[in-house]
Amino acid sequence: MPDSLPARLRAVAQQLAEAGVPDPLVDAELLIGHVLGLRRGEVQAAVVRGDGIADADAAALDALVARRAAREPLQHLTGTAAFRHLELAVGPGVFVPRPETETVAQFAIDALLGSAVPDPVAVDLGTGSGAIALALATEVPHARVFAVERSPEAHAWASRNTASQPNLTLVLGDLATAFDELRGTAAVVISNPPYVPDDAVPRDPEVRLFDPAQALYGGPDGLDVVRVISGRARELLHAGGTLVLEHGELQGAAIGAILESDGWRGIATHQDLTRRDRATTALRP
């Protein structure tokens, strides 16, 4: 006789809570939904009805729960990550996009929408899974979006996510040299670079153990790649073009100083929905 789904949900949530998973009930519902092919709301309805779960599905669920209890990211287990209106394929070797980056992408989207050029150019430096680039390309369909990623593993995921987007060009390469042909033409340059200082090891096991190191660490102060991007973005942007940088909550002032030294104007640091400094924007003179 099938197990009770309500009882299994309670047991899974308890196991994840004991493992220190931050949102154990949410993750339990999402894992059950992944196994059963149901949306989260459908799982909740099935629990209210008192549905059962077949032995084979229960075994598959147990295997996934054990991996989540070991703090493997939920997105690696389901193979997908939500970002704005998108569902992205993700897995080992690529940085899992975060909700706070959704608000960072909005600055670039707004700048593209405000461009007087009929087909404004946007460049995403270090695209990872392709999340930002794909958001720009789909939400501003008259834009031409270019994205570069240096990691072959991450590039493979980005290629999978962006392959069918006609106004998006993805390359494998170095953000410091990519897209020379675009010099002076871009309306927007955006990046979520590695910005964690080398000795500031993240507390969360999901980040520390599973996110690629080259997507996390940015030198002694975390800003080595930001310095490169500041120079490169000045080359790519046209006059009045917008630079958008994601960063850590304590890095706004330091990034502002870098950009000011490099001659940017209109420098501003912005908070995310948790009221933490999360992005800095600047205009090319």
- Tens digit of pLDDT for each residue in 237-268? 999 999 999 999 999 999 999 999 999 999 99
User: What residues does 188 pair with on adjacent strands?
Assistant: 122, 242
Cα separation, 8 vs 223, whole angstroms:
46
**Average pLDDT value for residue range 65-83:** 96
Q: Report pLDDT digits (tens) over 20-50.
A: 999 999 999 999 999 999 999 999 999 999 9
Query: Residue 56: its pLDDT value, please?
Result: 94
Query: Residue 201: its pLDDT value, please?
Result: 84
Q: Report pLDDT digits (tens) over 145-200.
A: 999 999 999 999 999 999 999 999 999 999 999 999 999 999 999 999 999 999 99
**Average pLDDT value for residue range 231-237:** 98
Determine whether domain 3-70 maps to CATH 3.40.120: no
> Comparing 273 with 282, which gets the higher pLDDT?
282
- Quick one: which of 144, 138, 10 has its CA closest to 65? 10
Q: How confident is the model at residue 76 (pLDDT cuts 50, 70, 90)?
A: very high
Strands (E), 77-126: 80-83, 86-89, 121-125
**Average pLDDT value for residue range 59-85:** 96
Side chain identity at residue 33, one-letter code: G
Q: Report pLDDT digits (tens) over 189-231.
A: 999 999 999 999 888 999 998 999 999 999 999 999 999 999 9
For the chain, give the percent of residues with pLDDT over 90: 95
Contact 53, 3 (CB under 8 A): yes
- Report the 10 Å Cβ neighbour count for 207: 18
Query: Residue 218: its pLDDT value, please?
Result: 94
Query: Residue 125: its pLDDT value, please?
Result: 98
- Quick one: which of 168, 192, 186 has its CA closest to 240? 186
**Average pLDDT value for residue range 92-104:** 95
Q: Which one is the CATH code of 84-283: 3.40.50.150, 3.30.360.10, 3.40.50.2300, 1.10.40.30? A: 3.40.50.150
Q: How far is CA 158 from CA 59, 104, 117, 151, in A?
A: 32, 19, 27, 10
Query: Residue 203: its pLDDT value, please?
Result: 86
Sequence-distant (≥ 6) Cβ neighbours of residue 147 within 8 angstroms: 123, 124, 127, 130, 132, 133, 158, 162, 168, 169, 170, 171
Q: Report pLDDT digits (tens) over 128-146.
A: 999 999 999 999 999 999 9
Domain chopping of the chain, boundaries: 3-70, 84-283
The whole-chain average pLDDT of the chain stands at 96
Tokens representing residue 228 in the block:
């490169």
Cα separation, 182 vs 143, whole angstroms:
14
Sequence-distant (≥ 6) Cβ neighbours of residue 73 within 8 angstroms: 96, 206, 210
- Quick one: which of 172, 190, 91, 181 has its CA closest to 135? 190
| pTM assigned to the model | 0.92
Q: How far apart are the first and last CA of the chain?
A: 71
Does residue 1 surpass a pLDDT of 70?
no
**Average pLDDT value for residue range 3-29:** 95
Q: How confident is the model at residue 2 (pLDDT cuts 50, 70, 90)?
A: low
